[in-house]
């Protein structure tokens, strides 16, 4: 096992709206290197599904049921939520 795999940060990503539509599931499991900001989660998903790019600048982040800034560093076992704008009435 490589050293980077030993130190990877495993997170759960909860998907809603366009993100859920793109992946067809409600959550994903991914690993990231230590010191990865939560914004890298969104970058990863956009790299996998480029059609999500329009959502980049309007998506907010939640980590473990609290809003988080894009520079918040991921921790082992975090639950990340990508929060797209919601319209309603």
pLDDT, position 84 = 85
pLDDT by residue, tens only, the chain of 89 residues: 444 456 899 999 999 999 999 999 999 999 999 999 999 999 999 999 999 999 999 999 999 999 999 999 999 999 999 998 876 54
Please name the residue that has the structure tokens 């890298």: 40
Largest CA distance in the chain: 52
pLDDT, position 85 = 81
pLDDT, position 74 = 98
Please name the residue that has the structure tokens 């599904």: 49
Q: Which two tokens stand for residue 24?
A: 């067809």
- Residue 43: which CATH number? 3.10.20.30
pLDDT, position 7 = 85
Does residue 52 belong to any structural domain of this protein?
yes
Does residue 48 belong to any structural domain of this protein?
yes
CA atoms within 13 A on the CB side of 22: 19
Does residue 18 belong to any structural domain of this protein?
no
The structure's pTM equals 0.87
User: How many domains does the chain divide into?
Assistant: 1
């Amino acid at each position: 096992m490589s050293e980077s795999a030993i130190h990877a940060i495993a997170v759960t990503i909860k998907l809603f709206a366009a993100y859920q539509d793109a992946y067809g599931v409600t959550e994903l499991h991914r690993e990231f290197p230590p010191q990865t900001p939560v914004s890298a989660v969104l970058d990863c998903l956009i790299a996998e599904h480029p059609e999500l790019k329009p959502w980049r600048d309007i998506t907010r982040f939640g980590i473990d049921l609290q809003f988080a800034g894009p520079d918040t560093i991921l921790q082992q076992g975090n639950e990340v939520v990508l929060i797209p704008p919601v319209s309603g009435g």
